Amino acid sequence: EIVLTQSPATLSLSPGDRATLSCRASQTVSSYLAWFQQRPGQAPRLLIYDTSNRATGIPARFSASGSGTDFTLTISSLEPEDFAVYYCQHRSDRLTFGGGTKVEIK
Amino acid sequence: QVQVVESGGGLVKPGGSLRLSCEASGFTFSDYYMTWIRQAPGKGLEWVSYISSSGVTKYYADSVKARFTISRDNAKNSVYLEMNTLRAEDTAIYYCARGGWLQINDYWGQGTLVSVSS
């Protein structure tokens, strides 16, 4: 069973800061790694799919990379609407989510 | 435009049953896997089940296996989740999303709340 561990659990930053979020898998996984953003009271929104591809309509300040067991989501300059919870997800015959990283205003 | 709308949530007693529905529009439903994902109050996302485009292949999380059944009706552009022997820990918002396994979960509904309590 694949376990995804996200770190840190909470990231306290200011608008304009760079955010770096980590997702570590318990074993080597395929490139079917996605990132989702969830704002309070809303459904999750797809940001990144297949490790590094931005979903339709996602701003260029969101980028992602990784392979094997280590994956990263980077937000180059935080906008007010980016303060939210972020989840990584791996797809195989089972779907697995990480525990989430909350990006909060410092 | 792609839309996914869940319904059927509500309050049910422990040991009870509930059937969730998810109606999709704006795309060729029979081409896509469909997935149910849940989120307990204040917690993270948990995958529940997905079903292949034809309905032949179904996978379940261990936490719901043998209690929940996923199905679909491609003629009605709908996917269902039959939930039996419900427990307090099944209390969550249940989201329906397009995709699963080889297809990304790119469109999600707004969710339907299931509360299991006596």
Res. B10: pLDDT tops 90: yes
Per-residue pLDDT at B101 exceeds 90: no
- Whether the Cβ atoms of residue A34 and residue B104 lie closer than 8 Å to each other: yes
Mean pLDDT of all residues in A87-99: 96
Q: Within an 8 Å CB–CB cutoff, is residue B32 touching chain A?
A: no
Burial label for A90, CB within 10 Å (0-12, 13-18, 19+), is buried
Q: How far is CA A74 from CA A104, B93, B99, in A?
A: 15, 28, 25
Asked whether the beta carbons of residue B45 and residue A50 sit closer than 8 angstroms, the reply is no
CB contacts, 8 Å: A99 with chain B: 44
CA distance B89 to B32: 29
Residue A92 to chain B, least CA–CA distance (Å) = 5
What pLDDT was estimated at residue B106? 96
Confidence grade of residue A80 (pLDDT, cut at 50, 70, 90): very high
> A2 and chain B: CB distance < 8 Å anywhere?
no
pLDDT at A5 over 90: yes
B59 touches chain A (CB under 8 A): yes
Taking contacts as CB-CB distances below 8 angstroms, the residues of chain A near B59 are 93-94
Among B45, B38, B41, residue whose Cα is nearest residue B18 = B38
Are B26 and B1 in contact by the 8 Å Cβ rule? The answer is yes
| Interface probe with B: pick from A36, A39, A95, most Cβ of B within 10 Å | A95
**Best of B64, B105, B107, B110 to disrupt the A interface by mutation (most A CBs within 10 Å)?**
B105
Residue B53: the pLDDT is 96
pLDDT digits (tens, 9 = 90+) for A7-27: 999 999 999 999 999 999 999
Q: Is a pLDDT exceeding 90 seen at residue B38?
A: yes
pLDDT score, position B79: 98
Mark out the alpha helices in B1-118 (DSSP H runs): none
Q: What is the CB neighbour count within 10 angstroms for residue B69?
A: 16
Confidence tier at B73 by pLDDT (50, 70, 90): very high
pLDDT one-digit tens code per residue, A30-72: 999 999 999 999 999 999 999 999 999 999 999 999 999 999 9
